[in-house]
Each structure stands twice: as structure tokens, then as C-alpha cells.
């Protein structure tokens, strides 16, 4: 018996000693990671480069690596990890954007971080990210989706595969894995953050998600709906840039002061929306369906394009999550719609000359659904997609981050900070609001408040806008996870260039919004978080 105990003790000591062994930065080059150390199927991984760096972030080891696919025809997942010399034991994973295809920056501030503050890396966080499982010079390129493994990697699998590979790098270098793992991203990266919490609640401790494309499938179908609305019948629904600007300008003038002060921001879009029908009707051409294209809107422009943009659509079938629609945008509440600079639809569509979402939808349907074959997106009937219907549901199940049950994530202390701009023309603020409300409906307000905060911000578009909020969000998330202190009472600072740079606003948890109560309109203290 004593011999067995001694053997067990020796094995334990040997195990502990092995775990404590560390590898210096240069020695990490060539490190091989077994497929068994990665949760999802891969061909294993390896570190391709490792170099000691000393810069404004301090001293750290920059590691480049590749996660090999199972399918030899699939691309690898390329990743970068930065291992600080003074490690705090925590890791921050950065999300990507668009259709990804490249490793996002990992050595700067968190998304919308406060200028002048130390970066996460400088504060001792191990920072890392992957390229989502394919390589492309353009984040608009969806051709990778022709490979099934690359498609699954982009949809969700690259998130966990990259984390697992970097965990092994940390163990090799420090002798231990991160004790906390956070995720920070916006748009596609925001969807990735929600996906991390939904699919792997045991692996992540906190998420900061900015304007996530959570309803991914709904958004792509909305782009196809917009294509028909704008470009059918000789592009009868197209609205020229001057009129797009006029609609945004007049909406802002109509609604700016609904929060108590004219400050160039629509902080109360719900009140603004109640007057939108009358405002739109006032823009209708009165002398038939013709007139100066920059002076009024025709029936086709109103009933097709403005309706789809402002109201969204409803399907006769459901996505994988049970949703049957995609809500519209604040296109009569101050945002500038993305309808392109020219009337004619290019073949293939291209963002800039054509409506941005039409280009994105074309790329999606060509490569995710149509096996790479070219087609005219105006021929796609979203309401009756025929044999494409099951593929649409399949993609929805792979990509959508619209789950409502976060109980496992919340139970182990996970926290989510979710932020969405009213002025976003790329991701519907109404859609993300509804996604949050669905979580509340499922879990209850009190339970949701214990792990999630959802904020809507006036003036924030899709990464910029009339008010580009900057905030030490990672510090706020870390404090919530570590000390249980939620980010209540926080303020954000405007990072836009110009005379409004530096103004502040309170960060108001939905459904409240900042109402002016007197004083300096550039100071957050002059506002109170209010409801109607």
C-alpha cells in the first residue's frame, strides 16, 4: 500500500514539475500542438515564428502560428499571440471584421478604447487573434465558403480552435494557462464574441461586443431584399446621394432636441420614429411619379426602398432560431443610408457604386449558397427561395448568435457588455435590441442584469459616426468579473475629430437614454438616464 502511495506521489510531483517547465520566447518557434489539445477537429498546430519585442507596450514575445485543417484542401487558421513579460494571468481575444481573412490588430487598444490609456498588452494581458480560417486581402471576399471546413471555421469554429492553440502556447511559455479569457470585437467580431459565450460558456469569462452581426442570416437576406427594392424596373427605387443626405439631415433636425438639447445627436429615437411616417409623406412627389430626383421621393422610392430600409421584412418561413423577420434601421431617425453612388447595378455588385448590403448579399449567396456560380441577385425571391430554403436554415444554424439561454455562462460568473449605435447603417439597432429583449424574456430581467448590460448610444454608426464613444471597457469588464462590480454609472468620451471631440455622455443601460437636465451639454453630468 505504501509503495502504491509513494508511486502516486512521485507521479504527481513529476506532473507538477512538467507543468512548471517553461520555454523562452525563441524556443517557442517550432512548437507543435497536438490535435488532441484542440477541442474541435484539426490537424494540429504549430508555432511558425517567435520573436522578442520591446516597444511602447513593454517587453513581450510575439508568436505567429498556424492551425492545420483536417481537409487538406482547406486553408489553415493563422494566428498571432503576444505574451507579455509581466503577465497578469489573463488573456484577451480580438475579433475580426467582415468576412475576415486576415489577423486583426492585437497590440493596440480594445475596440473603442480610450485614447491615452495603456493597451491591454501593456497592462499585462496576453492578447491574441486568428484570421478566421482563410486568407484574403479583402474582408468582402466570401469565396472561401466554397470549402466546407473553411465555412465552418469562419462561422464559429476558428474562435475556439485559436483559443485552444494559444492556451498551449501560454502553457509552454509560462507553465500555466490563462486563468481568465475575455473576448472583444465589433460587427463580425461582435458576433464572434456572443458566439464564444453561447457555444463555450466554460471557456470564456467575459465578452465586450460592439454592434454584432448576431442575426447574420437575417441581415444577408435583408441585403437581397434591398437589391430588388432598389434595382428592379430600371432601378426605380434607387435614391441619389443628395436625397439620402437630405433625408438624414431633415431627420436629425426634426429629432435632435427630443432629448432636451440640440447637440447633433438623436438620443430618443423611439420618439423620433413616431413622427417618421408623416416626415416621409412630406417628401413624396406631388406631381405624379416624376420630378426633381433630389427634391422629392417617388412612390417606388418610398414603397420599395424606404419601406425595406426602415421597416425590414417578414418571411413565410423561419430561420433556425425561430425568427421570421429582420427589423429595419433608423433611416428616418438620422442615419445616412448606404445606397451607393450610381443608379445602375454592376455585375457583380460593388460597394460604393452600389448599395453596400447588396454587394455583401451577392457575395454571400454566390459563395455560401450557389457553389460559386455567378447570378443576378435581383432574381432571388427571398419570400419563396425554393430549394435554397434549407440551405438558408443550415447557414442560420451555423452563424446566427441569437441564442437566448446564457444560463451556463452566467452560472460560472461570465459577464457580457453589449453596445449598439442608433446611427448604425450596417447592423440594425432594432434587431440587436430585440435580441437582447429575447434574452430578458427567456431568463428574466433580474437574472439578465446579473451578467449582461446592453447599451444603445446616440450618434454611433458602425465604428464611427457623429459620436464615436471611447471607454475603458476592458477595465470595466474585468472589474465586473473579478470584483462583481457592474459598469453602472460609466461615461463615454467622444473620439470624433472636430469641435465635439472630448465631450462626454453617460452610458445608459437600455431602455434608458441620456436626457438633458441642464448645464454644459458637453458634460455627461448634465444628463440623466431616463425613460419616456
Give per-residue pLDDT as tens, 67-86: 999 999 999 999 999 999 99
Query: What is the reported pLDDT for 289?
Result: 58
Q: Tell me if residue 462 is catalytic.
A: yes
Q: Cα(466)–Cα(486) distance, rounded to whole angstroms?
A: 27
Question: What domains lie within the chain, and their CATH numbers?
Answer: 23-178 (no CATH), 182-214+404-489 (3.40.50.1820), 218-399 (no CATH)
Question: At 299, is the pLDDT very low, low, confident or very high (cuts 50, 70, 90)?
Answer: very high
Say which DSSP state 353 is in.
T
Which residue in this structure is represented by grid cell 442615419? 335
| Catalytic position from the list 462, 473, 478, 494 | 462
Quote the radius of gyration of the chain (alpha carbons, Å).
25
| 54 beta partners | 59
Query: What is the reported pLDDT for 355?
Result: 97
Give per-residue pLDDT as tens, 460-487: 999 999 999 999 999 999 999 999 999 9
Q: Cα(155)–Cα(105) distance, rounded to whole angstroms?
A: 20
Question: Between 38 and 290, whose confidence is greater?
Answer: 38
What percentage of the chain exceeds 70 in pLDDT?
A: 95
Query: What is the reported pLDDT for 291?
Result: 55
Average pLDDT over residues 14-39: 81
Question: At 292, is the pLDDT very low, low, confident or very high (cuts 50, 70, 90)?
Answer: low
Give per-residue pLDDT as tens, 490-517: 999 999 988 899 999 999 999 999 999 9
Q: Cα(166)–Cα(163) distance, rounded to whole angstroms?
A: 5
**Nearest alpha carbon to residue 159 among 107, 112, 96:** 96
| Catalytic position from the list 132, 187, 267, 276 | 187
Give per-residue pLDDT as tens, 108-126: 999 999 999 999 999 999 9
Query: What is the reported pLDDT for 59?
Result: 98
Give per-residue pLDDT as tens, 366-411: 999 999 999 999 999 999 998 889 999 999 999 999 999 999 999 9
Q: Which of 175-189, 282-296, 434-448, 458-472 has the lowest mean pLDDT?
A: 282-296
Query: What is the reported pLDDT for 105?
Result: 97
Query: What is the reported pLDDT for 19?
Result: 46
Average pLDDT over residues 145-159: 97
- E-assigned strands of 414-525? 415-421, 452-457, 469-470, 491-494, 504-506, 513-516
Query: What is the reported pLDDT for 6?
Result: 37
DSSP string covering 137-183: S-TT--GGGGSHHHHHIIIIIHHHHHHHHHHHHHHHHHSS--SEEEE
DSSP string covering 15-68: HHHHHH----TGGGTT-EE-GGGSSS--S-EEEEEEEEEEETTEEEEEEEEEE-
**Nearest alpha carbon to residue 258 among 266, 250, 249:** 266
| Torsion angle, alpha carbons of 483, 485, 487, 489, to 10 | -140
Mean pLDDT across the chain: 93
- Name, in order, each residue with C-beta under 8 angstroms of 74's C-beta and a sequence gap of 6 or more: 133, 147, 148, 149, 150, 153
Give per-residue pLDDT as tens, 320-340: 888 899 999 999 999 999 999
Query: What is the reported pLDDT for 84?
Result: 98
Give per-residue pLDDT as tens, 178-196: 999 999 999 999 999 999 9
| Catalytic position from the list 205, 259, 359, 424 | 424
Quick one: 257 exposed, middle or buried, by C-beta within 10 A (0-12, 13-18, 19+)? middle
Amino acid at each position: 500500500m505504501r509503495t502504491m502511495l509513494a508511486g502516486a506521489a512521485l507521479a504527481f510531483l513529476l506532473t507538477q514539475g512538467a507543468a512548471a517547465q517553461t520555454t523562452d520566447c525563441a524556443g517557442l518557434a517550432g512548437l507543435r500542438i497536438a490535435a488532441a489539445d484542440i477541442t474541435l477537429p484539426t490537424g494540429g498546430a504549430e508555432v511558425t515564428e517567435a520573436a522578442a519585442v520591446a516597444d511602447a507596450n513593454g517587453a513581450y514575445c510575439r508568436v505567429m502560428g498556424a492551425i492545420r485543417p483536417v481537409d487538406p484542401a482547406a486553408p489553415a487558421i493563422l494566428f498571432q499571440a503576444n505574451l507579455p513579460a509581466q503577465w497578469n494571468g489573463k488573456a484577451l481575444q480580438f475579433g475580426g471584421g467582415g468576412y475576415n481573412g486576415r489577423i486583426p490588430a492585437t497590440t493596440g487598444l480594445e475596440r473603442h478604447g480610450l485614447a491615452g490609456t495603456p493597451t491591454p498588452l501593456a497592462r499585462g494581458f496576453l492578447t491574441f487573434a486568428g484570421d478566421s480560417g482563410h486568407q484574403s486581402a479583402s474582408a468582402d471576399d466570401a469565396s472561401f465558403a466554397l470549402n466546407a471546413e473553411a465555412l465552418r471555421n469562419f462561422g464559429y469554429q476558428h474562435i475556439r480552435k485559436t483559443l485552444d492553440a494559444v492556451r498551449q502556447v501560454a502553457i509552454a511559455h509560462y507553465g500555466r494557462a490563462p486563468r481568465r479569457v475575455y473576448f472583444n470585437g465589433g460587427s463580425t467580431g461582435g458576433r464572434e464574441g456572443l458566439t464564444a459565450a453561447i457555444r463555450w460558456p466554460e471557456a470564456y469569462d467575459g465578452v465586450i461586443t460592439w454592434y454584432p452581426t448576431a442575426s447574420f442570416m437575417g441581415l444577408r437576406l435583408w441585403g437581397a431584399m434591398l437589391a430588388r427594392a432598389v434595382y428592379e424596373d430600371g432601378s426605380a427605387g434607387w435614391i441619389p446621394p443628395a436625397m439620402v443626405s437630405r433625408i438624414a439631415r431633415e431627420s436629425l433636425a426634426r429629432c435632435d432636441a427630443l432629448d432636451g438639447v440640440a447637440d447633433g445627436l438623436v438620443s430618443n429615437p423611439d420618439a423620433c420614429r413616431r413622427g417618421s411616417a408623416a416626415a416621409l409623406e412630406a417628401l413624396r412627389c406631388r406631381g405624379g411619379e416624376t420630378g426633381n430626383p433630389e427634391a422629392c421621393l417617388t412612390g417606388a422610392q418610398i414603397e420599395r426602398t424606404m419601406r425595406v430600409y426602415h421597416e425590414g421584412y417578414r418571411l413565410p418561413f423561419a430561420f433556425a432560431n425561430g425568427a421570421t423577420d429582420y427589423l429595419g434601421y433608423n433611416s428616418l431617425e438620422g442615419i445616412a443610408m448606404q445606397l451607393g453612388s450610381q443608379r445602375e447595378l454592376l455585375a457583380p455588385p460593388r460597394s460604393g457604386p452600389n448599395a453596400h448590403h447588396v454587394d455583401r448579399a451577392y457575395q454571400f449567396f454566390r459563395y455560401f449558397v450557389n457553389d460559386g456560380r455567378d447570378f443576378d441577385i435581383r432574381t432571388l425571391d427571398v419570400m419563396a427561395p425554393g430549394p435554397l430554403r434549407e440551405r438558408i436554415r443550415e447557414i442560420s444554424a451555423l452563424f446566427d448568435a441569437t441564442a437566448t439561454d446564457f444560463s451556463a455562462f452566467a452560472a460560472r460568473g461570465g459577464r457580457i457588455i453589449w453596445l449598439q449605435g442608433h446611427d448604425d447603417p450596417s447592423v440594425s439597432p432594432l434587431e440587436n435590441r430585440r435580441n437582447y429583449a429575447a434574452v430578458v424574456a427567456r431568463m428574466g430581467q433580474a437574472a439578465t442584469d446579473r451578467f449582461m448590460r446592453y447599451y444603445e448610444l446616440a450618434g454611433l454608426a458602425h465604428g464611427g459616426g457623429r459620436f464615436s464613444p471611447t471607454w475603458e471597457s476592458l477595465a470595466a469588464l474585468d472589474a465586473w468579473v473579478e470584483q462583481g462590480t457592474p459598469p453602472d454609472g460609466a461615461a463615454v468620451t467622444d473620439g470624433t475629430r472636430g469641435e465635439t471631440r472630448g465631450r462626454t455622455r453617460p452610458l445608459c443601460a437600455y431602455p434608458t437614454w441620456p436626457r438633458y437636465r441642464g448645464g454644459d451639454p458637453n458634460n455627461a453630468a448634465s444628463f440623466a438616464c431616463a425613460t419616456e
